[in-house]
Amino acid sequence: MEYPDYRLDGDVAVVTGASKGIGRDLAKALAAAGARVAVAARSTDDLDTLVAEIEAEGGEAVAVALDVCDTSQISEAADHVKRHFGSIDIWVNNAGLGANHPAEDITEDDWDEMMSVNLRGLFFCCRAAGRVMLEQGRGRIINMSSQAGVVGIRDHAVYSASKGGVNMLTKVLALEWSHRGVTVNAVAPTFIYTPGTAERLDQEDYLAGVLERLPIGRVGTTGDVAGAVIYLASPAGAMVSGHVLLVDGGWTAQ
């Protein structure tokens, strides 16, 4: 048998929403696994430190301006990465919005803003990446979903709807593209401790409510998410496509 290979040496990876939180740490983890990384966000100013950190650790990175709500920027970003590195082997759709709203208080603007980023923007990033990868005959697309796309969570109507859409879109694209060498999967985390979630998770009562639903007994880390992403991006994950990989500590097992 061939032993599993989790290295990404020489691969080119794109991470959207890479300026902070999960996206930032995913970019660093992919670089540590050997990938050359294009880190994308609306402003490259927010990415300069990240690029410098990756390069200081021996990696190779480039910052790319990308607002996923602008389809022309998506196409330009994909073209830029291909010109710079020569290919796109891995594309991680991490850019996303989250919000807590009782359903009766949700406005049209709330709905449109979140869907524009979480679902519409993600699809057109998949399309841009897919076009490059299909021409190459190989590639890995990894969409960041959520446990909220698999089970309902109060006050997350729009968010859950957007992530449920991500899950189904992942399956359809896998059906269309897997036989042409491009796998498409999603990673669906539970609550992950980041600077963005710290405000809530640092509240003792809020954290206690979350932990009641987590059989594993703790919230997730960005490293937990990175492990799933690297697996799906690596040769070890070559047989996996159309799958939603829950990194949820058992939340959805109940």
Active-site annotation, residues: 159
The CA R_g of the chain, rounded to the nearest whole Å, is: 17
11 near 35, Cβ under 8 Å?
Answer: yes
Q: CA–CA separation, 8 vs 35, rounded Å?
A: 5
Instruction: Please state, as a whole number, how many other Cβ atoms lie within 10 Å of the Cβ of residue 206.
Output: 13
Q: What share of the chain is helix, strand, coil (3-state, %, to 5)?
A: 50, 15, 35
Phi/psi region, residue 88 (left: phi>0; alpha: psi -120 to 50; beta: rest), is beta
